[in-house]
Amino acid sequence: MRRMDRRVFQYLLLTPEGYATREELQKIFWPDQDAKVSQLSLRTACSNIRKALGALLGADETANYFAVLEKTLNVNLEFVNVDVRRYIAHVRSANIAYVSGDMNTARVHFRRAIAIYRGHIGWGDEREAWLEPLASECAELQRGAIERFAELSRLSGVLLDNDAGLSSASGG
């Protein structure tokens, strides 16, 4: 898959509902192109995404994961595991447990979130402008997760070990 195809697919994976309009994608990824060129470029990207998914999943399964409709492109998020989504879900679960007083559950979810952020979320050196708000949100969540995890560890008398990765996990 070409870099632009990957960027379009990544964008779809990271949107809240897993879809975007054709117009939105054309404005983000081909802002300086006229309408005809950006439409053709988006069609080419869709075709390449379908081919790449077909090679991985089989042509019959591609439609279960990626659909091109009249006005939107959709990724079925039920079938796709995205590290950023898992990370945010763990932070949210941890915060809910923390507020409700379930400190053991909060600690477990904070630890998992910190590990995902440290080990799996690669924003890259050159972030796309559309990716910056999400990357900044996750960096802020990570700072809070580290603080609360450290607090819960101190309160429970658990020594922080290297496995927690707190010193290297706060980068953005």
Burial of 155 (0-12, 13-18, 19+ CB in 10 A): exposed
Could you read off the pLDDT of 99-112 as tens digits, one per residue?
Answer: 999 999 999 999 99
As given in the structure block, the two tokens for residue 171 are 């980068």
Return the pLDDT at 25.
Answer: 96
Return the pLDDT at 159.
Answer: 58
pTM: 0.76
Which residues are within 8 A (CB) of 138 and not within 5 positions of it... i.e. 6 or more apart?
84, 87, 88, 117, 121, 172
Return the pLDDT at 168.
Answer: 46
What sign does the CA torsion over 116, 109, 84, 64 have?
Answer: positive
Cα–Cα distance between 125 and 39 in angstroms, integer? Answer: 29
